[in-house]
Amino acid sequence: MSSLLFSPLTIGKLELANRIVVAPMCQYMASDGVPADWHLVHLGQFAQSGPGLILVEATGVEAEGRITPACTGLYSDASEAAFARIIDFCRSVGESKIGIQLSHAGRKGSTRKPWEGAGQISLAEGGWKTGAPSNEPYLEGWEPPSEIDHYGLDRIKAAFVDATRRAARAGFDLIEVHAAHGYLLHQFLSPISNRRKDAYGGSLENRMRFPLEVFDAVRQAFPADRPVILRLSATDWIEGGWDLVQSVEFAKALKKAGCEMIHVSSGGLDQRQEIVAGPGYQVRFADEIKWQAETATLAVGQITDPVQAETILLSGQADAVALARGMLWDPRWVWHAAKELGAEVQLPAPYARCNPAMRGKPFITRS
């Protein structure tokens, strides 16, 4: 019996060779938004292993949209050229499609790298004034963000469009709009962080308005034959916050706007969250959104075992699976999964001899 994990998947008009996705993982190794050799090696190692799709980390659409000063951005010619170089290399060693997660950090921006304490960087230390739907700080003691006015909303939307056009020129196959993990678009969705009194706050329809406007602008700016998907936190894990019921309604609206898949995550908005974590702990959210909103979903969250991943797909809970930390720990996860599930996998020619499944057989290689 063939493995569903290693069967092709079509997202819009884009065909993936298999249903394994490398989830976006911040590296905090860029300079003024420009990805460096670290990113070439980081992403290139996954391309050598052959997942269906590799998603580049959360990338700020403007300098103030980055999480840290060391995060990637797509707002300059230098960054666009650097990403084009990385894409060219990835395509030279494998068949993986390459996507980018476009993001704006909102009130969670201007912070230090995690290994430097992750605290907020003040203006005096070289940080920047953050903006958000409301002037509610992310953590107690942090400088409150400015409430973004309508001119600011237009500026940010235009920044998403500019980054989208740069992504298209650089050669990305897909864009993922980041509306999860407590960043700006998630901040608009959740009633915890969105206390606005205008057309962008209050009711669910109003709170969805700006994220939908951004998604529509990105969809219109990206070539029609390349898909746009969205990363969503299905719940804040806080009573009275953003939840699964609202996520389903948002997913329905996104589908009407041309969204080809929902990448289902959770949490990240507020430190009061009470997450019940464990293997595949977010898969049930992907399952509910898939069937209630009648849309394709990508499941993520402590998916580490090939049989676990195969079971998620066979049970119809999601259309593809994404791995983050599991891929960092084992960049050859795709090869090992193929061996365990009895699937045939092609290795780059210089590595073909290491495939234990091919001992005593002719090499199956990528030239």
Q: Give the catalytic positions in this structure.
A: 183
Cα angle value 189/184/199 (rounded, 5°): 50
- Number of residues written out for the chain: 367
Q: Are residues 292 and 248 in contact, defined by beta-carbon separation less than 8 angstroms?
A: yes
From the number of C-beta atoms within 10 Å of its C-beta (0-12, 13-18, 19+), residue 131 rates as: buried
CA pair distance 141, 123, nearest whole angstrom: 15
DSSP calls for 210-262: HHHHHHHHHHHHS-TTS-EEEEEES--SSTTSS-HHHHHHHHHHHHHTT---E
Q: Are residues 65 and 183 in contact, defined by beta-carbon separation less than 8 angstroms?
A: no
CA pair distance 300, 290, nearest whole angstrom: 14
Token representation of residue 85: 């170089």
**Amino acid (1-letter code) at residue 261:** M
